[in-house]
């Protein structure tokens, strides 16, 4: 999903011209935010066309969390994905800002990608920012469309980048109007709530649709049931941030590097 971009010099509104699959399109006035997420997304493990791999610590050993997180980073993971569930939006209760703070303490240089599966994401923006999160994604299903830009602004005001997620049953119409102001879009490939679920292949059509509209400074993430067997389908559809939970943490540590390489499409470690 590597696309060329042509920034128009001297344009105070920050308007961009974007080359997408051979077409030159007029850009949109988009807030330019200097932040860690942008650096991560534009400077991944080369080449740029390879996806970033984000192990979901939901499947890690909570009693050995620091060790597990350090292990996957050492094995080649690009960032860590934190699945936050409130027991209301999804039928599970997982982690909060304190766990994020603990991970940050032991991994000061790791990029922490927080996925809020909660009914009231606004109440968690500041707590996760203070806990050391780099990026915050919330769900389109819980915020009225007219207020999504406001929530994104609140996330950026706390020094984080912003993402919008949609569940398997939610159409792309819930996210497309907001693409110009997003850093990342997350498409769920399972119904959120628990790790270890089976991949829902039908969501790949949504990924393809969204991918065609993204700028090169934006990423498209998929979360749920991804493993080395189906990862190629995910990459081909246009995802360039791949979240994997049990596919990584459910295997012995000595196999993590090979699994991460397989997910990325690089072959044996």
Out of 21-25, 176-180, 191-195, 265-269, give the one with best mean pLDDT: 176-180
Residue 13 is predicted with a pLDDT of 30
pLDDT tens-digit profile of 213-228? 999 889 999 999 999 9
Residue 196 is predicted with a pLDDT of 61
Least confident of 47-61, 105-119, 138-152, 206-220: 47-61
* pLDDT of 63 strictly over 50: yes
Residue 88 is predicted with a pLDDT of 86
Provide the terminal-to-terminal Cα distance of the chain, rounded to the nearest Å: 23
User: What is the rounded CA–CA span in Å between residue 227 and residue 245?
Assistant: 9
Q: Annotated catalytic, 223? A: yes
Residue 49 is predicted with a pLDDT of 63
Residue 258's pLDDT band (cuts 50, 70, 90):
very high
Residue 93 is predicted with a pLDDT of 81
Out of 6-15, 45-54, 113-122, 191-200, give the one with best mean pLDDT: 113-122
**Helix 97-106 and helix 65-74, axial crossing angle in degrees, nearest 10:** 60
- Write down the residue that tokens 């994020």 correspond to: 100
78, 223, 240, 262: which is the annotated catalytic residue?
223
Of the candidates 99, 83, 70, the one whose C-alpha atom is nearest the C-alpha of residue 138 is 83
User: What is the rounded CA–CA span in Å between residue 204 and residue 64?
Assistant: 34
Residue 269 is predicted with a pLDDT of 54
CB-based contact 222:9 (threshold 8 Å): no
Residue 182's pLDDT band (cuts 50, 70, 90):
very high
Instruction: Locate the domains of the chain by residue range.
Output: 32-264
pLDDT tens-digit profile of 67-81? 999 999 999 999 999
Would you call 46 exposed, middle or buried from its count of C-beta atoms within 10 A (0-12, 13-18, 19+)?
A: exposed
78, 83, 86, 262: which is the annotated catalytic residue?
83
SS3 category, 264: helix
pLDDT tens-digit profile of 9-26? 222 233 333 333 333 333
User: What is the rounded CA–CA span in Å between residue 57 and residue 111?
Assistant: 13
Segments in 158-245 forming alpha helices (H): 204-211, 231-237
Least confident of 9-18, 31-40, 97-106, 230-239: 9-18
pTM for this model (two decimals): 0.83
Residue 30 is predicted with a pLDDT of 37
Average pLDDT over residues 229-234: 95
Least confident of 26-35, 175-184, 254-263: 26-35
Which residues are within 8 A (CB) of 244 and not within 5 positions of it... i.e. 6 or more apart? 53, 54, 55, 56, 226, 227, 259, 263
ω before 47 within 30° of 0 (cis)?
Answer: yes
Label residues 11-38 b or e (16+ Cβ within 10 Å = b). eeeeebebebeeeeeebeebeeeebebb
User: What CATH number labels 32-264?
Assistant: 3.20.20.70
Mean pLDDT of the chain: 83
Residue 138 main-chain phi, psi, to 5 deg: -125, 170
């Amino acid at each position: 999903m590597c696309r060329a971009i042509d920034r128009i010099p001297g344009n105070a509104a920050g308007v961009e011209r974007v080359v997408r699959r051979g077409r030159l399109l007029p850009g949109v006035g988009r807030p330019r935010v200097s932040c860690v997420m942008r650096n991560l997304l534009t400077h991944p493990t080369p080449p740029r066309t390879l996806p970033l791999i984000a192990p979901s610590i939901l499947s890690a050993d909570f009693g050995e969390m620091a060790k597990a997180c350090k292990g996957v980073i050492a094995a080649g993971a690009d960032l860590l994905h934190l699945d936050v569930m409130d027991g209301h939006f999804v039928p599970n209760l997982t982690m909060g800002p304190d766990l994020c703070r603990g991970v940050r303490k032991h991994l000061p240089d790791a990029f922490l990608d927080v996925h809020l599966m909660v009914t009231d994401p606004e109440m968690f923006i500041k707590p996760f920012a203070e806990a050391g999160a780099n990026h915050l994604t919330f769900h389109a299903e819980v915020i009225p469309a007219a207020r999504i830009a406001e929530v994104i602004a609140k996330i950026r005001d706390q020094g984080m980048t912003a993402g919008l997620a949609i569940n398997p049953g939610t159409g792309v119409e819930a996210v497309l109007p907001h693409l110009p102001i997003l850093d990342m879009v997350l498409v769920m490939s399972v119904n959120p709530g628990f790790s270890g679920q089976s991949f829902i292949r039908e969501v790949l059509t949504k990924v393809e649709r969204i991918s065609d509209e993204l700028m090169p400074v934006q990423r498209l993430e998929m979360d749920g049931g991804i493993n080395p067997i189906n990862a190629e389908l995910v990459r081909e559809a246009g995802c360039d941030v791949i979240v994997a939970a049990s596919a990584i943490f459910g295997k012995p540590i000595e196999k993590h590097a090979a699994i991460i390489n397989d997910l990325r499409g690089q072959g044996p470690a």
